């Protein structure tokens, strides 16, 4: 069969297509350049310690200015209360039950597809600068990053919690931007991970004294220190003329406890102080707004893919694109699942969160009955009053929804060739 060189067949095709499809074919020879992606990830960052989220102390002037130009999600939840499972969920859009990054020694399986893998397949240059060992190559989160810098976390383990990394993270991230800017025709994705607001809380001359010496105040000073160096990175993005061609995402990995429920640090509970995190996107041409709906970090991957104009891959993602919420469109309620299996403790924790209620389930590993806590999120945002005994009907209803969510996560694991522990073993009081 010979090819007709005349334009007539193409013209006849265009005349038969729906009007909305014609521009896609006519303009396909000169596509608009894809946007770049800069992800600013701060490892242990409570949402309520940023000025843009209502904190009264000046911890975050740079991030506050960024948020003022962004779509800010006020009620965003990490899928887990510590670094490895939280970032595994962020980068794969899978809950911990699915990816099974539970313990310190776990590693993300190659069967899962990460956000940078999706972007690399469509031509993005992908880079990361990380400052926590759980984001390093030993735990599988480098999948898809061709320019992966984990030099900062190759120190001996006993030194890592004393590492002051924000200056180096910004220096290395700026070096990536300068290299990427040389080839303006190729879009890029960069994850810059800042780990300084993380126990052990360090002192920073010229900053710490403005906040105080006690651990919660040193934590504030650590946020301010990281904020300064994030400012350097954003200034370089602007100096290179890349800001208006770049989607900038801000995300926290998890929060920190300072005795609100008797604990310190993170990773062993699912209270709001360890799982509510900042989440925002600055998108060129998108009007800033604040969104109060419940969302999860598993929504990060599908949302970012859509914001970049990349075709959604044919793979299961637990999250949903938040683009409709970013446009101000009404959507159905979006309850979410939180999970943890604390290192060193023989307990499995799970929580179900919607706009009104939070149910926390605590199951002894190896047998025993589940215990529950129920919090009214509107009347008791600090989760200090347990209503489980007074509202058993709410507990029962939310238990069913929690079961459905975990069953769904187990089924998703099967799509990737894994069999997870059955949910039927849970015994309730």
- Per DSSP, the residues of 150-166 read -GGG-S-HHHHTT---H
3-state secondary structure of 179: helix
pLDDT at 32: 61
Instruction: Supply 353's token pair.
Output: 């969160």
Neighbours of 4 (CB within 10 A): 9
pLDDT at 9: 33
For 305, residues 6+ apart whose C-beta sits below 8 A from its C-beta are 115, 118, 312, 313, 321
Q: Report the alpha-carbon angle 272-277-282, nearest 5.
A: 155
What is the spatial distance between Cα 228 and Cα 156, in angstroms, rounded to a whole number? 27
pLDDT at 115: 98
What is the spatial distance between Cα 37 and Cα 29, in angstroms, rounded to a whole number? 24
Cβ(161)–Cβ(224) below 8 Å: no
3-state secondary structure of 301: helix
Cβ(40)–Cβ(194) below 8 Å: yes
27 burial class (0-12, 13-18, 19+ CB within 10 angstroms)? exposed
Structure-derived torsion over alpha carbons of residues 407, 412, 417, 423, reported in degrees to the nearest 10: -10
Instruction: Supply 27's token pair.
Output: 């303009």
Enumerate helices (H) and strands (E) in the chain, giving the number of each: 13, 15
Q: Report the alpha-carbon angle 211-129-87, nearest 5.
A: 80
Backbone angles phi, psi at 231, to 5 degrees: -60, -40
What is the spatial distance between Cα 32 and Cα 426, in angstroms, rounded to a whole number? 52
Instruction: Supply 185's token pair.
Output: 């025709």
Q: How many CA atoms lie within 13 A of 271 on its CB side?
A: 21
pTM, entire model: 0.90
Which residue is associated with the tokens 């000169």?
Answer: 30
3-state secondary structure of 367: coil
Cβ(335)–Cβ(294) below 8 Å: yes
For 241, residues 6+ apart whose C-beta sits below 8 A from its C-beta are none
pLDDT at 400: 96
What does each of the 429 residues of the chain score in pLDDT, given as a tens digit? 333 333 333 333 333 333 333 333 333 333 467 899 999 999 899 999 999 999 999 999 999 999 999 999 999 999 999 999 999 999 999 999 999 999 999 999 999 999 999 999 999 999 999 998 899 889 999 999 999 999 998 766 556 667 889 999 999 999 999 999 999 889 999 999 999 998 889 999 999 999 999 989 999 999 999 999 999 999 999 999 999 999 999 999 999 999 898 887 888 999 999 999 999 999 999 999 999 999 999 999 999 999 999 999 999 999 999 999 999 998 888 899 999 999 888 899 999 999 999 999 999 987 789 999 999 999 999 999 999 999 999 999 999 999 999 999 999 999 999 987 665 445 444
pLDDT at 263: 81
3-state secondary structure of 363: strand
pLDDT at 29: 32
Which residue is associated with the tokens 């904190």?
Answer: 55
What is the spatial distance between Cα 5 and Cα 406, in angstroms, rounded to a whole number? 57
Sign of the torsion formed by the C-alpha atoms of 260, 265, 271 and 277: positive
Backbone angles phi, psi at 426, to 5 degrees: -70, 125
Instruction: Supply 299's token pair.
Output: 């929504």
Question: Angle, to 10 degrees, between the axis of helix 83-92 and the axis of helix 300-307?
Answer: 40
Question: Angle, to 10 degrees, between the axis of helix 166-181 and the axis of helix 215-239?
Answer: 20
pLDDT at 164: 87
Cβ(283)–Cβ(246) below 8 Å: no
């Amino acid at each position: 069969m010979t090819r007709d060189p005349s334009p007539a067949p193409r013209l006849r095709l265009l005349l038969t297509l729906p009007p909305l499809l014609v521009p896609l074919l006519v303009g396909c020879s000169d596509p608009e350049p894809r946007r770049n992606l800069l992800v600013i990830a701060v490892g242990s960052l409570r949402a309520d310690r940023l000025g843009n989220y209502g904190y009264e102390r000046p911890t975050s002037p740079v991030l506050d200015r960024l948020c003022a130009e962004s779509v800010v999600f006020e009620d965003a939840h990490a899928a887990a209360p510590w670094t490895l499972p939280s970032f595994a969920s962020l980068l794969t859009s899978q809950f911990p039950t699915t990816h099974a990054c539970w313990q310190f020694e776990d590693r993300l399986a190659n069967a899962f597809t990460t956000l940078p893998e999706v972007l690399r397949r469509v031509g993005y240059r992908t880079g990361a600068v990380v400052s926590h060992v759980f984001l390093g190559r030993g735990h599988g989160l480098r999948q898809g990053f061709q320019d992966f810098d984990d030099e900062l976390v190759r120190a001996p383990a006993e030194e890592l919690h004393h590492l002051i990394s924000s200056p180096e993270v910004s220096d290395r991230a700026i070096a990536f931007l300068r290299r990427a800017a040389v080839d303006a025709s190729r879009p890029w994705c960069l994850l810059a991970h800042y780990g300084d607001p993380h126990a052990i809380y360090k002192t920073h001359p010229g900053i710490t004294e403005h906040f105080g010496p006690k651990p919660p105040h040193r934590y504030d000073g650590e946020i301010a220190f990281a904020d300064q160096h994030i400012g350097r990175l954003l200034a370089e993005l602007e100096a290179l003329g890349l800001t208006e061609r770049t989607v900038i995402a801000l995300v926290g990995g998890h929060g920190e406890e300072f005795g609100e429920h008797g604990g310190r640090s993170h990773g062993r509970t699912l209270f709001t102080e360890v799982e509510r995190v900042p989440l925002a996107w600055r998108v060129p041409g998108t009007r800033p707004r604040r969104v109060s709906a419940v969302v999860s970090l598993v929504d990060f991957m599908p949302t970012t893919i859509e914001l970049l104009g990349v075709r959604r891959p044919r793979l299961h993602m637990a999250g949903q694109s938040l683009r409709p919420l970013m446009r101000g469109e009404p959507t159905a309620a979006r309850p979410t699942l939180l999970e943890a299996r604390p290192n060193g403790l023989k307990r499995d924790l799970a929580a179900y969160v919607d706009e009104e209620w939070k149910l926390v389930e605590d199951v002894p590993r190896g047998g025993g009955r589940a215990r529950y806590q129920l919090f009214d999120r509107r009347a008791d945002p600090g989760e200090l009053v347990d209503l489980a005994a007074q509202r058993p009907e709410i507990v029962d209803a939310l238990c069913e929804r929690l079961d459905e969510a975990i069953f769904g996560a187990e089924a998703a694991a099967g799509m990737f060739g894994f069999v997870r522990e059955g949910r039927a073993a849970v015994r309730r009081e």
